[in-house]
Amino acid sequence: MPAQYRAEIVGSFLRPPDVLEAHEAYAQGRLALDRLRAVEDQAILNLLNVERQVGLDVMSDGEYRRGAWAGDFQESVDGYVPGAPPIVLSWHRDTESGPIPVAPSLGMSQAAGSVVIGEKLRRRRRLTEHEASFLQAHAQGAFKVTMPAPSYVVARGYKPGVTDRAYPSRAAVLKDAVAIIQAEIKALVAEGVPYIQLDNPHYPDYIPEDRRAQMRSIGIDPDQAIREDVEADNEALTGFDRSQVTLAMHLCRGNGGSAGWHTEGSYERIAEQVLGGIHVDRFLLEYDSQRAGGFEPLRFVPKGTTVVLGLVTTKSGEIESPELILRRIDEASRQVDVEHLAVSPQCGFASVIEGNPLTLDQQRRKLELVVEVARKVWG
């Protein structure tokens, strides 16, 4: 049986100023890679210390070595060419008067796909080896390594008229993406990494009708595509001893530098196929706002699979009421036994390097809230 973690996180944390400055200097050619790594190393050690002090059950390096949450894939794999994304994401930010449109930041553009797949995907180097080895040496406890799911890679990279010069079908692209991700998971498991998480803002694409219409407009049948996606993600997760490693998937609705989001709607439309069909040990789901709907779709989650309720928002510095979080966990327990629930922030604090609009102190207080609630519920 996989390990149980009650006080959870998604992965990314706000970068401290020295990390931001070092990344900018490296991008401009003013800082050598070894000096960049030294700055990152020290910042990660500081972050791990904070995570231990707060009492999280599983730790992360904050994705401090990345410019954006999925960046390691494109940086490690050949086969991308410049191109506009196949699907246009409409970004919004919540305000007191309601959601307003926002332009994507640079990091959000990269995460959404300013390049597309135009040649055969070929792994140039390991995706996360340089991250995992440092965590293995310094975490002093359970830690996770994150990477994009194969279905996300293809959803944001497969563009008819470009990709089909190299591949006969969307399914064929998925096959190569699966091979790359599965090879990375195998390497991490062999190295003793205890927790591996596939991040996926793509499955919620199948919820709103306008996004499904966009797929049809470029020749993608959304009903066929979601079947292909679930099959591909399951293939990447197949063949691992779950007593040795926890495999998880985080479903995201967009988390940009301006705390923007791109998808709303209940999980109901995808729940049976995705929540009921993907073979993970844990689902990390966003439930910090009314955009996600109710907990009823959780009835499709297989018995024994843990649902991590993302009830603490990373999109603002406002600290939620512990009593409200406890009530919502109680509501969710009507669909999933409380022993198979956990709690976390709804997403990372900095899916892109710019980070969300809150302070380091507010970030810590939100982590403390997660731990406080987890201890009240599960001891």
Helices 150-157, 170-190: crossing angle, 10 deg rounding: 140
pLDDT, position 292: 85
> Residue 190: CB partners within 8 Å, gap ≥ 6?
none
Position 102 scores a pLDDT of 67
Q: What is the DSSP letter of 116?
A: E
pLDDT, tens digit, for every residue of 311-326?
A: 999 999 999 999 999 9
**Can you tell me the distance from the alpha carbon of 67 to that of 107, in angstroms, rounded to the nearest whole number?**
7
Gap between the Cα atoms of 358 and 341, Å rounded: 27
Structure-token match 């707060």, residue found: 54
Is it the case that residue 100 has pLDDT exceeding 50? yes
Q: What is the pLDDT of residue 123?
A: 96
* Residue whose structure tokens are 């022993």: 339
Q: Give 338-366 pLDDT, tens digit per residue.
A: 999 999 999 999 999 999 999 999 999 99
Which pLDDT band holds residue 111 (cuts at 50, 70, 90)? very low
The pLDDT score that the predictor gives to residue 28 is 96
User: Which residue is associated with the tokens 């063949």?
Assistant: 239
pLDDT score of 178 more than 50: yes
Instruction: Count Cβ atoms below 10 Å from residue 361 Cβ, excluding itself.
Output: 9
Average pLDDT, the chain: 92
Q: Is the pTM of this model over 0.85?
A: yes
The tokens for 57 are: 């059950």
Residues of the chain with pLDDT > 70, as a percent, come to 93
- Among the ranges given (71-75, 186-190, 216-220), the one the predictor scored with the smallest mean pLDDT: 71-75
User: Lowest-confidence range among 1-10, 212-221, 299-308, 351-360?
Assistant: 1-10
pLDDT for residue 113 is more than 80 = no
What is the residue whose two structure tokens read 């050598």? 32
Q: State yes or no: pLDDT of 89 exceeds 50.
A: yes
Where are the domains positioned within the chain? Answer: 56-378
How confident is residue 137, by pLDDT bands cut at 50, 70 and 90?
A: very high
- If one compares 107 and 285, the residue with the highest pLDDT of the two is 285
Closest by CA to 108, choosing from 294, 350, 373, is 350
- Structure-model confidence comparison of residues 2 and 83, the more confident one: 83
pLDDT at 306: 98
DSSP class per residue in 11-75: SB-PPPHHHHHHHHHHHTTSS-HHHHHHHHHHHHHHHHHHHHHHT-SSB--BTTT-SBTTHHHHH
Confidence of residue 71 (pLDDT cuts 50, 70, 90): confident
pLDDT of residue 108: 34
CA nearest neighbour of 143 among 9, 2, 252: 9
- Nearest-5° angle of CA 191, CA 197, CA 200? 145
Give the three-state DSSP class for 120: strand
* Position 110 confidence tier, pLDDT thresholds 50, 70, 90: very low
pLDDT score of 107: 42
CATH topology classification for 56-378: TIM Barrel (3.20.20)
pLDDT at 17: 97
Rounded Cα distance between 327 and 228, Å, is 37
